[in-house]
Structure 1
Amino acid sequence: MLVDHFPLTELRLRTPRLELRLPDPEELAALADVAADGVHDPAYMPFRIRWSELPPAERARSVVLHHWSVLGQWTPREWRLPLTVFRDGAPVGVQLLKAVDLAITTECSTGSWLGRRYHRQGIGAEMRAAVAHLAFTHLGATDLVSSAFTDNAASLGVSTKLGYTDDGIERHEDRGRLRVIRRLRLTRQAWLERERPDVTVDGLTRCLALMGLNGSAASEDDRPQSPG
């Protein structure tokens, strides 16, 4: 069975409204359709790599190819986990969690996109909170990092809601003009001190070795807890 060779296919994260997991082929096709319908206001570009400007059919195909490419490059030392986000059984976007030498660095980073029709419903914060729970509670992470352009109010709002603090800036050229990215950092302690949605994680144990952890990541019972 596939799960015997790649146990990440059994990993499930669940929040009050969402489920995050790897998609089957037909669900990946449905996710590509979500991207084809648009992921942001065409007047604003939130991504450094302008994949969302592709024509709808090419944009959809790029989602499929990128998903396969990310999984195909997986190693325990360096990995990217592209979890499809489902609401009411239908895909609405992607929440990525990635790390390099996690057992040593104890740091993960995130990236995401959400179908435009699902914006402004609190989904972005809930799906990032889900992977924060995975990283801090189950993978032994001490820090979670993210970034966004300084004019990306939606992404920065999610980070503020979850307790991230500033971690510097990056300056980038984009089609002949300067764009500035804010780096953001969420520590485990800051995460523990804030109210959080309930998250359950299933199917993780056999995945730990694939993440370079070899079963050594601390469980929730090993963590200091706070209300909420």
Structure 2
Amino acid sequence: MTHPEQWPLRDLVLRTPRLELRPDDDEGLRELVEVAYGGVHEPGLMPFTVSWTDADPAYLGRGILQYFWSRRAALAPEDWGVHFLVRFEGRVIGMQELMAKDFAVTREVGSGSWLGLAHQRRGFGTEMRAAVLQLAFDHLGARRARSDAFADNPASLAVSRRLGYRPDGTQTVVRRGEPADLVRLLLESADLVRPEWTLQVASLAGCRGLLGAGVGG
């Protein structure tokens, strides 16, 4: 008796002109940990709502692994987050998440990402977000995408602006014990500023049900 693939995400691959994105696996996460130890942002800045890079270096790597393991274990059609390990020339350089809650009903996704310092300011951030947006809009049937960034994170805001997001209000959150303004952003599928390339997607069919996108849709 032939059983269906129990974890179809293991075979999912997204390809852009320079990058390859695959859902996280343990070998890739070890590479990602090394990227994190090499630095993700300048010490005086904090681009994340959860200040995970402030962790004691003795425990940072373990914390990264446990976080990704926990998210992978909790993935379900009604609440999912796929953490794509982003590779350039075969090496992991960062992470791009695509997530959704009740996607079958809302058809909305969110995203989050980071790159190692050595790989920033090379256009990778825009390319990898464009990849998951094309996956969401063109292959999963999403209608909207949401994102956010702190008002003092011009690099992330610039990526959103290039791709067609519009401001969708602000909120005050606590960052390192102090109030900080978070800019919310919204992108309608028709407003995506598409790159000159088209995303290549492999082995998506078996993942649709797991992501609340239907077996055939």
- On whether the aligned pair clears a TM of 0.5, the verdict is yes
Tell me the amino acid that sits aligned with residue 202 of structure 1: A
Q: Which residue does 1:88 correspond to in 2?
A: 89
Listed one character per residue, the Cα deviations across residues 83-103 of structure 1 (whole Å, up to 9, x for unaligned) are 100111110111000011112
* Greater than 4 Å deviation, 4+ residue runs: none
Q: Which residue does 1:149 correspond to in 2?
A: 150
The question of whether the paired residues in 2 share the 8 Å contact of 1:18 and 1:127 is answered with yes
CA RMSD between the two structures: 1.8
Q: SS at the partner of 2:167?
A: strand
Listed one character per residue, the Cα deviations across residues 111-164 of structure 1 (whole Å, up to 9, x for unaligned) are 111111111010000000000000000010010110000110110010011111
Alpha-carbon offset, residue 212 of structure 1: 1.6
What percentage of aligned pairs have identical amino acids?
42
Q: Does residue 1:55 correspond to 2:79, yes or no?
A: no
The question of whether the paired residues in 2 share the 8 Å contact of 1:36 and 1:57 is answered with no
Q: How many residues align?
A: 216
Q: Which residue does 2:35 correspond to in 1?
A: 34
- Report the TM-score when normalising by structure 2: 0.94
Q: Does residue 1:10 correspond to 2:5, yes or no?
A: no
CA 6–194 in structure 1, closer or farther in 2 if over 3 Å, else same: closer
| Structure 1 residue ranges without an equivalent (≥5) | 218-228
Alpha-carbon offset, residue 105 of structure 1: 0.3
Q: SS at the partner of 1:41?
A: coil
Partners of 1:125 and 1:3 in 2: CA distance = 35
Q: Which residue does 1:189 correspond to in 2?
A: 190
- Report the TM-score when normalising by structure 1: 0.90
Partners of 2:94 and 2:176 in 1: CA distance = 27
The question of whether the paired residues in 2 share the 8 Å contact of 1:3 and 1:9 is answered with no
Partners of 1:114 and 1:75 in 2: CA distance = 26
Q: Which residue does 2:213 correspond to in 1?
A: 213
Tell me the amino acid that sits aligned with residue 152 of structure 1: N
| Structure 2 residue ranges without an equivalent (≥5) | none
Alpha-carbon offset, residue 58 of structure 1: 1.9
Partners of 1:194 and 1:91 in 2: CA distance = 25
Q: SS at the partner of 1:166?
A: strand
